A and B are shown apart, each in its own frame.
Chain A
Amino acid sequence: MSGWESYYKNEGDEEEEQEEGLEAGGDYSYSGRDSLIFLVDASRAMFESQDEDELTPFDMSIQCIRSVYTNKIISSNRDLLAVVFYGTKKDKNSVNFKNIYVLQELDNPGVKRVQELDKFKGQEGKKYFEDQIGHGSDYSLSEVLWVCANLFSDVQFKMSHKRIMLFTNEDDPHGDDSAKASRARTKAGDLRDTGIFLDLMHLKKRGGFDTSLFYRDVIIAENEDIGIHFEESSKLEDLLRKVRAKETRKRVLSRLKLKLNKDVTLTVGIYNMVQKAYRPPPVRLYRETNEPVKTKTRTFNVNTGSLLLPSDTKRSQTYSHRQIVLEKEETEELKRFDEPGFILIGFKPLMMLKKHHYLRHSLFVYPEESLINGSSTLFSALLTKCLEKEVMAVCRYTPRRNSPPCFVALVPQEEELDDQKIQVAPPARQGPLSVGLSRQEHWSGLPCPPPGDLPDPGDLTHISCISGFQLVFLPYADDKRKVPFTEKVMANPEQVDKMKAIVQKLRFKYRSDSFENPVLQQHFRNMEALALDLMEPEQAVDLTLPKTEVMDKRLGSLVDEFKELVYPPDYNPEGKVTKRKKDDESYGSKRPKVELSEEELKAHVSKGTLGKLTVPALKEACRMYGLKGGLKKQELLDVLTEHFQKA
């Protein structure tokens, strides 16, 4: 096997993938579908921009919705989405209320729906809207909410989560009609009681959006708990982040006990904040009809041809000619150690966490009040003190019943909010469809900002956290490998300084969402092209490629200066390694074997030609005679010379 398997996945890896699936537990377990209605104010004010270049609030809403659609196609295509306009001239809804237009009922996101949304984009979109639907003069928000509630109740599937996002820039919709306003409040209360969340995505309004006029009583007070109040969004970016923060529902991987000692236990939830996203697995289709086929796997006896039940088989391994046979359950039991949970072992200073002892991606731990009361308080106390004393908690962690334990460090993290008052955390997946709002246009993922646009080195606003513990996996002795390291040859200060200049020139601000996965992006672009019958799929821009031109331009002559300082004139750093065979041979030992006889060394010393030898050779010589030299060539020379002159 190659010791270097990467994360590249193909059909053969399915088993591994399944295992990953197990690991990811909470993400794959199915508890119903999330459903989300985008409720968009289509009154005239939504189509007016304050600035020539600025997007209209309506346009911004549509682009944002579209982005969620394409997102969902990739991440959770079973979820249900709908789009409803209100304040329209035409109406289209099951109860024939005026001024309410259901554009799309709750259904899975698909290509056709995305194309339909695209028609409402930009200036043409505005015209299209006016032709097809038109602005109405009046509406009743309570009726609007009623229609939304109906959409939810028309769905046949089990729904795990129901949410309405309201996009508007009108802060007092029924200012002149207190009866209407009160009906709207009542209706909103009804929705809340039936478990439907209503979020306000308020957009920029001339003179500011005042939530106290109307919406404060209508919108669920869940934000009060979180302690975060959103500002109104004037930029698409802000709106997108706001929407995404709401739209991805957090799923707990597991809820476990954290035992501080034999008497004190609290419960915590474990969350996955990073999870490798893979291309979705292919489905097999029947050639004639393109309908998906089911697969069935059967186990049968070769000799008798009879089907075997799981109880007709056992598990076996053979070691040096001896076979071990166990029941399947017994093989599971072998893996059982502790009950799932954390057992606190003790505390270590934070500085003892080694960055290079990374084992697998970390998880996030947050208190879970539902199982043991007071968990949050105790958790909070633990977090406060760990932060204050700069320690981490080392625990033995058993994720599941039949999984062996591992050591983990619970590293405290303090909460930081960014300027939008959204907890700064990675934004959710973003759709790949490149038409319209392309991320690549948007953030351009530029690791190298254009010259002259270097970020302020002191700018640290983006290193922000959610308060809780980061669960860091610690390696076992078995997981570490000794590597045959290359002999240390130190660069001199001049060389280091030149490199520093190079590093400074290529500075950029890293953001975890700067890079898209080019493999996935290309896959979805291909899918898109096929779905839309495009002739050629759009080529995804590979953000992982170095922008060599920009880099070269910024570096200017620095590279040549550095090379001159470091590389001998005839040196070719691109050259193929020709000493391949030699490499292989000396591979066993961690040091290059440079055999030098005593005579040779003496000769060098007496002739003063010792300096011609390479540093590894000199080190080897020092080692042979048990001499302790420094790391610098001159130090080695001195020690050796001294040794032989004495002798």
Chain B
Amino acid sequence: MARSWDKAAVVLCMDVGLAMSNSFPGEESPFELAKKVMTMFVQRQVFAENKDEVALVLFGTDGTKNALAAGDQYQNITVHRHLMRPDFDLLEDIESKIQPGSQQADLLDALIVCMDLIQEETLGKKFEKRHIEVFTDLSSPFSRDQLDIIIHNLKKSGISLQFFLPFPIGKQGGTGDRGDGSLLSDHHGPSFPPKGITEQQKEGIQMVKKVMMSLEGEDGLEEIYSFSEALRQLCVFKKTERRSMPWSCQLTIGSNLSIKIVAYKSITQEKVKKCWTVVDARTLKKEAIQKETVYCLNDDDETEVSKEDTIQGFRYGSDIIPFSKVDEEQMKYKSEGKCFSVLGFCRSSQVHMKYFMGNQVLKVFAAKDDEAAAVALSSLIHALDELDMVAVVRYVYNEKTNPQVGVAFPLIKDAYECLVYIQLPFMEDLRQYMFPSLKNNRKCTPTEAQLSAVDALIDSMSLVQKDEEEGTIEDLFPTSKIPNPQFQRLFQGRKKTIYFFSSHEEGPTCKKLKTEEEEAHFSVSSLAEGSVTCVGSVNPAENFRVLVRQKKATFEEASHQLINHIEQFLDTNETLYFMKSMDCIKAFREEAIQFSEEQRFNNFLKALREKVEVKQLNHFWEIVVHDGVTLITKDEAPGSSVTTEEAKKFLAPKENANADSAAAFEEGGDVDDLLELI
């Protein structure tokens, strides 16, 4: 999905000045909120794996680092990161390296630095879009004298702007729906800036509005967001969202009337694009794995036949009819190339929503820069709208695709008007089912009391707020502005896993976090599930705990299963699985003390140490040592014969440990099979 023509250069321009850290008690500061919004943005960028490049410019920093700085010009502005593909380093930087500054810097100066950066660093590279995202509370003074030049240059170089502020600004107008839009407003929060903002900030708002108006007109105001708005709707990053390919065609009515149109996909289910590749469990390489498909006869020996000896056929009832690809190609239906032809018009109520099908909605406009086409299409749109009718059309994307029959209905908004195309079913796609009537069925007729209870429920759970005076309805829960939690989950899940790897290289802090999480996890989900029957590989430690605590298996049985998994994990020689093993070992240790099975654990741990040595898993042993997981001592469990001293020595570096603990190992026996020990 990474397409070079769709590449964007984005500068994140963040105010870290003095005032950004101010906040009301109990609220997050603008500084923290801005970081959150940026993190979300960069996360999406990283996981979207597009070719966009992102730079980070901070202003209000104590130091100065930018190409324009000279004398007292462009001070306290730092180019933190130049234009490049976003990665985890950038995320980590935003999370931990950016610190609030103690200075103030001119926002417009910072904008100039950003523009300069884009100019310089996109030289010789092809970027389809350039834009700057500004995060500021507008509380620093700025000098207006350059404003017009800035606006002019932004326009000239095609750089777009988006502002993110700690508070909402008043927005009016915009691309509201006609019909539904004028009645409904999706805006959240008050429509005027909240009280408590300074004169400086008011001035800032005026300036920001002016800039956006001059750049994009009325719509420009739509590109000024509050942090909370941005956090709620990730989709505000419109400049990086996926764009639809134009499809040009002619809308035809009969053989003599055609209108040049262009159509775009406006709604289509966004799916997780990246799939999981199958890798070898040991080497984690996908190259090591190959799949092959073989054909065999349906006889007792399952005799294999080569693919060349097979032909294609189709079922036709009880018969199977051989039908080669060549024949099929020759005989199959061929559409006559792309088209968007009206088959007829009907009342809009005859095409019920329940018949809509297919996986996309197309918006059909007149061809670009073609006024005649625009007037012609407008006539059709308004004719349909006024008659409350729709067009039924045949739609063929290109000569290789199958024809569709669909509905095209008018959509008229303040800013634009178009036809909306949605596919309709073929007769073959319909299913007729009959259901007992609910209306006249004595068995399920609700009582008056039941009806009024439901009535009250509906009233109490209304998702809209009606303003009687203005006659507007506000949607309190606009689902189409909520991002898909699946993507959020993926971003977060992957981020966690990836951090986990990287942090481990630096230090063990994350590791602890992970165990805590696991603990918490145990208390909630495992008890709720309550159906664990064996130790699985996904949550072995947790399963183990459940098994022994709920006495679903003997301690011996459960620990066998657990040890099996630990061995498997270690065989991978992968840090991630070391951590998982550690969790298992810790769980084993804790439960062993609980259930007076200390000997079993001690035997296991001793054997493990031997195994680690044989298999050269020193790296793993270091983790064990670091976490201080050692033999269970007398003090912890009365059944143990190990002293604290011995336990300490057990973890001591090899050279010393060898002699001292040799004796302890005699009872160990065969080190190759840990299981036999227990």
Contact = CB atoms under 8 A, between A and B. Distances in A.
A126 B292 CA distance: 57
Interface string B416-452: 1110101111111111111111111101111000110
A521 to B, nearest CB: 8
A560 interface: yes
Interface in A3-45: 3-4, 6-8
B197 interface: no
B51 interface: no
Interface in B439-490: 439-441, 443-446, 450-451, 453-455, 457-458, 461-464, 473, 475, 477, 479-487, 489-490
A277 B402 CA distance: 13
Contact of B379 (A7, A462, A498, A530): A498
A27 B498 CA distance: 40
20 contacts: A7-B359, A7-B402, A8-B401, A274-B429, A276-B358, A284-B312, A286-B305, A313-B289, A329-B536, A348-B463, A361-B357, A362-B354, A407-B482, A427-B427, A477-B480, A485-B365, A495-B378, A506-B254, A517-B402, A626-B213
A355 B409 contact: yes
B445 A380 contact: yes
Nearest to A540: B333
Contact of A562 (B214, B257, B288, B289): B257
Contacts of A206: none
A322 to B, nearest CB: 5
Contact of B435 (A366, A391, A489, A518): A366
Interface string B368-400: 110111111011101110110100101001001
B437 A284 contact: no
A354 interface: yes
Contacts of A211: none
Contacts of A546: 252, 254, 341-343, 394
Given A527-B314, A563-B257, A588-B129, A514 B427 contact: yes
A397 B286 CA distance: 36
A183 interface: no
Contacts of B266: 356, 480-481, 483
Interface string B485-505: 111011001100110011000
B254 to A, nearest CB: 4
Closest 8 CB pairs of A and B: A426-B430, A250-B433, A376-B444, A110-B318, A381-B446, A315-B276, A108-B318, A404-B486
Given A287-B309, A301-B288, A324 B257 contact: no
Interface residues of B, number: 206
Interface residues of A, number: 239
A385 B454 contact: yes
Given A320-B88, A478-B483, A614-B371, 4 more contacts: A4-B247, A460-B349, A476-B482, A480-B267
B107 to A, nearest CB: 21
Interface in A191-247: 225-228, 244-246
Given A248-B432, A347-B463, A381-B450, A527 B323 contact: yes
Contacts of A349: 464, 473
B13 to A, nearest CB: 21
A57 interface: no
A460 B346 CA distance: 11
B82 interface: no
A333 to B, nearest CB: 7
Contacts of B252: 546
A484 B536 CA distance: 51
B279 A378 contact: no
A347 B462 contact: yes
Interface string B268-311: 11100010111111101011111111111110001001000111
Contacts of B618: none
Nearest to B500: A324
Given A313-B289, A491-B379, A517-B426, A6 B401 contact: yes
Contacts of B295: 284, 286, 293-296
Contacts of B445: 377, 380
B677 interface: no
Interface in B184-232: 184, 213-214, 216-218
Interface in A555-598: 555, 559-560, 562-563, 566-568, 571, 573-575, 577, 579, 582-583, 586-589, 592
Given A476-B480, A530-B323, A626-B217, A245 B432 contact: yes
Q: Which of B129, B244, B383 gathers most chain A CB within 10 Å?
A: B383
A520 B316 CA distance: 12
A588 B257 contact: no
Contacts of B302: 294
Tell me the interface secondary structure of chain B in the complex. Answer: mixed
B25 interface: no
Given A245-B434, A327-B538, A415-B439, A286 B309 contact: yes
A499 B49 CA distance: 47
B180 interface: yes
A623 B254 CA distance: 39
B277 A489 contact: no
A333 B235 contact: no
B128 interface: yes
Given A275-B429, A325-B576, A462-B350, A302 B287 contact: yes
A3 B245 CA distance: 6
B554 interface: no
Contacts of B85: 320
Interface string B314-327: 11111111110000
A386 interface: yes
B281 A313 contact: yes
Interface in B49-67: 49
A535 interface: no
B322 A290 contact: yes
Interface stretch (A163-171, A463-471, A637-645): A463-471
A103 interface: no
B526 interface: no
Interface string A311-322: 111111101111
Given A227-B437, A358-B356, A526-B332, A474 B427 contact: no
Contact of A295 (B293, B479, B536): B293
Nearest to A550: B254
A407 B479 contact: yes
Contacts of A313: 278-281, 289
B257 A616 contact: no
Contact of A322 (B88, B323, B365, B436): B88
A367 B158 CA distance: 57
A357 B480 contact: yes
Contact of A491 (B343, B376, B537): B376
Interface string A266-302: 0000011111110110111111101111111111111
Contacts of B218: 628
A330 B538 contact: yes
Contact of B317 (A110, A465, A503, A506): A110
A476 B270 contact: yes
B374 A296 contact: no
Interface in A537-565: 537, 540, 542, 544-549, 551-552, 555, 559-560, 562-563
A77 interface: yes
Q: Which of A228, A321, A353, A518 gathers most chain B CB within 10 Å?
A: A518
A429 interface: yes
A127 interface: no
Given A382-B454, A427-B432, A559-B254, A544 B309 contact: no
Nearest to A389: B458
Contacts of B276: 315-317, 326, 331
A475 B480 CA distance: 5
A490 B128 CA distance: 31
Nearest to A363: B354
A467 B254 contact: no
Given A4-B247, A407-B482, A430-B427, A588 B402 contact: no
A470 B342 CA distance: 28
